[in-house]
Amino acid sequence: MVDPEEFIEEAIVEIREKIGDANAVIGLSGGVDSSVAAALTHEAIGEQLTAVYVDTGLMRKGETEEIEETFAFMDGLRIIHAEDRFLDALSGVTDPEEKRHVIGEQFIREFEREARDADADYLVQGTIYPDRIESEGNIKSHHNVGGLPERVDFEGIVEPVRDLYKDEVREVARELGLEEIISERMPFPGPGLAVRIIGEVTKEKVEVARESCHVVEDELEEYEPWQAFAAVIGKGTGVKGDNRVHGWIVAVRSVESRDGMTARAQELDWETLQRIQSRITGENDNVARVVYDVTHKPPATIEYE
Amino acid sequence: MVDPEEFIEEAIVEIREKIGDANAVIGLSGGVDSSVAAALTHEAIGEQLTAVYVDTGLMRKGETEEIEETFAFMDGLRIIHAEDRFLDALSGVTDPEEKRHVIGEQFIREFEREARDADADYLVQGTIYPDRIESEGNIKSHHNVGGLPERVDFEGIVEPVRDLYKDEVREVARELGLEEIISERMPFPGPGLAVRIIGEVTKEKVEVARESCHVVEDELEEYEPWQAFAAVIGKGTGVKGDNRVHGWIVAVRSVESRDGMTARAQELDWETLQRIQSRITGENDNVARVVYDVTHKPPATIEYE
């Protein structure tokens, strides 16, 4: 485990040396990795940093507001509201790889416009150690702002947390004084709620996924999972009153892990599972059933797509 | 609760009075209701009864063999192997109601050929009391051989167990000496494994559903569920070795109920759930994850479609 204080001092020196008095840009995803990378870079170069947060419409409940508050101290914070453009781009797309590709493309389009405006020579990324391992194994096809370096002509890429594990990043976040909601935040995938929706991404399914994820995070906080979320995985029958209805099936996932490379499905109390299912079916009229994922990684992945 | 011995005596008299020396036909589904109706009618009119069992390819593991053994004493037993015809008819059909309709149509086609061959004036059905209630509420669209009476010109319909609840039918089955595997059998839907498959019914999905249902029935016997089964509900990602794969998601369902009209998801031990998931993912290479349904009826139904 690195010493957070020492790490921060060294990182700031390294970032200053690399970027000098040029401008830099970073994409804030809402997760702890890019938040720490941004805070470190801001410490190092202040207003030379532009931090771009793209609201894709696929974010967690309240996430955009939290980012706005947490990073209010940065003059270079840019919040881009691109919900409709993402939904339009995703219309009719059902293949998981194609979905990630469309989101990645749209993200780059939104981001590169801001990067050019900021006249940035350097791209800062929140890549951490396990990301680099997984990209080599090709397990994930969209990480951070993959593909951007070829499109915008940056002088260099800076990855201040590239050698850290997730728990080390959290230590650094606490040391930097980042809000607890950010430092303790569970990992959230690059393509957002889109990978928590099997099949086409629609506004209705995004709403169900967002509300259900919120219930799961809320109810499972005390279990301290590595990651816990809900996914909209299909449709099945239900009964409301005397009528047979067709409603969404929501899967709940909660896993224990050190680094995300392997994971174990978490044993939950029956009362907790019942509270989750009754909140999700009660608050979402169009949800017919809730299932709990009992599979480890491997053979399953943590996310559904 | 009826007295089984008394019920059997009275039912035999009633059936004899109604059918006289005419011929009758019954569809054996493999479930306890039609098995009891067939056994009662055979007691009453012997060789005047033809019992038709259509193997739709959507049956439980070993079900056809069990029926053949259990009813070997009936001269009028006809086993129809129609697996390929059902799969052909279902090819490309994804809508749940359309699926039930296609299966119902094909079933009638297979059944009416046998009914004509048997020169049957009477149709015997295993309808029980809750079926009649549910048909009125229109909860299920396919029960037993719905639609047949209009197509074949029967003189009358005989429903020997029409006033019984499920637990009473089981009592009668025991009294009749029907094999335990039949008398203690869990309810199984008319359209068979097809309603345990969301989306198109293919040979691959039927195999996964059949093997997974077998694991669930086997592992949950001691819990004495009202009904327990597995359903193939979609596809999600998994990891096998170093590769990302796309595999089936299997949902496990186990409920407690008195009559099927309402039901509660059953609390299972974590060890049991883990044994089920590891057997299903281990024995089926193409399954990536196993989820447990924690929803009651209502708001969910017991079955998935």
Number of H helices, E strands in chain A: 11, 9
B253, B229 Cβ separation under 8 angstroms = yes
Does the distance separating the beta carbons of A198 and B303 come in below 8 Å?
A: no
Which phi and psi angles does A218 have, rounded to 5°? -65, -50
Q: Which residues have C-beta within 8 Å of that of residue B131, sequence separation ≥ 6?
A: B33, B143, B144
The C-alpha torsion from A71 through A88 and A290 to A252, rounded to 10°, is -40
pLDDT of residue B149: 58
Q: Which residues have C-beta within 8 Å of that of residue A236, sequence separation ≥ 6?
A: A246, A247, A249, A288, A289, B198, B233, B300, B301, B304, B305
pLDDT of residue B139: 40
Residue type, B152: V
Tell me which residue in A236, A277, A293 faces B305 most closely, judged by beta carbons. A236
Which phi and psi angles does A119 have, rounded to 5°? 55, 50
Does the distance separating the beta carbons of A301 and B237 come in below 8 Å?
A: yes
- pLDDT at A182 exceeding the cut of 60: yes
pLDDT band at B141 (very low <50, low <70, confident <90, very high): very low
Looking at the complex, report in whole angstroms how far the Cα of residue B269 sits from the nearest Cα belonging to chain A: 9
Does the distance separating the beta carbons of B293 and A300 come in below 8 Å?
A: no
From the number of C-beta atoms within 10 Å of its C-beta (0-12, 13-18, 19+), residue B185 rates as buried
Say how far apart CA B15 and CA B144 lie, in whole Å. 19
Half-sphere exposure of A5 (CA within 13 A, CB side): 0
Say how far apart CA B75 and CA B51 lie, in whole Å. 9
Higher pLDDT, A138 or A182: A182
Task: Bin B199: left if φ > 0, else alpha if -120 < ψ < 50, else beta.
Answer: left
Interface test with B, best of A235, A295, A296 (most B CBs within 10 A): A295
pLDDT of residue B245: 86
Q: Which residues have C-beta within 8 Å of that of residue B150, sequence separation ≥ 6?
A: none
Does the distance separating the beta carbons of B297 and A277 come in below 8 Å?
A: no
Number of H helices, E strands in chain B: 11, 9
β-strand pairing of B77-81 with B122-124: unpaired
A130, A163 Cβ separation under 8 angstroms = no
In this structure, the number of other CB atoms found within 10 A of the CB of residue A256 comes to 15
pLDDT of residue B179: 82
β-strand pairing of A287-293 with A243-256: parallel
For tokens 């204080």, the residue is A5
The pair of structure tokens assigned to B133 is 């209630």
pLDDT band at A222 (very low <50, low <70, confident <90, very high): very high
**Smallest CA–CA distance from A240 into chain B, residue:** B299
Residues of B with CB under 8 A from a CB of A: 96, 137-139, 198, 233-240, 242, 244, 246-247, 249, 251, 265, 267, 270, 273-274, 276-277, 281, 287-295, 297-301, 303-305
Span B1-49, pLDDT tens digits: 789 999 999 999 999 999 999 999 999 988 899 999 999 999 999 999 9
The pair of structure tokens assigned to A121 is 């020579």
Residue type, B36: V
- pLDDT at A30 exceeding the cut of 50: yes
The pair of structure tokens assigned to B234 is 């979609």
Tell me which residue in B233, B240, B294 faces A292 most closely, judged by beta carbons. B294
ipTM of the complex: 0.79
Does the distance separating the beta carbons of B294 and A273 come in below 8 Å?
A: yes
pLDDT of residue A245: 86
Mean pLDDT taken over chain A: 91
Q: Which residues have C-beta within 8 Å of that of residue A138, sequence separation ≥ 6?
A: B244
Does the distance separating the beta carbons of A300 and B244 come in below 8 Å?
A: no
Chains A, B: CB contacts within 8 A come to 130
Residue type, A290: V
Span B65-74, pLDDT tens digits: 999 999 999 9
In this structure, the number of other CB atoms found within 10 A of the CB of residue B243 comes to 10
Which phi and psi angles does B53 have, rounded to 5°? -115, 115
Of chain B, the percentage scoring pLDDT greater than 90 comes to 77
Span B233-287, pLDDT tens digits: 999 889 887 788 889 999 999 999 988 889 999 999 999 999 999 999 999 999 9
Rounded to the nearest 5 degrees, what angle is found at the Cα of B143, between the Cα atoms of B139 and B144?
170
The pair of structure tokens assigned to B192 is 């068979």
pTM value is 0.81
Does the distance separating the beta carbons of A96 and B300 come in below 8 Å?
A: no
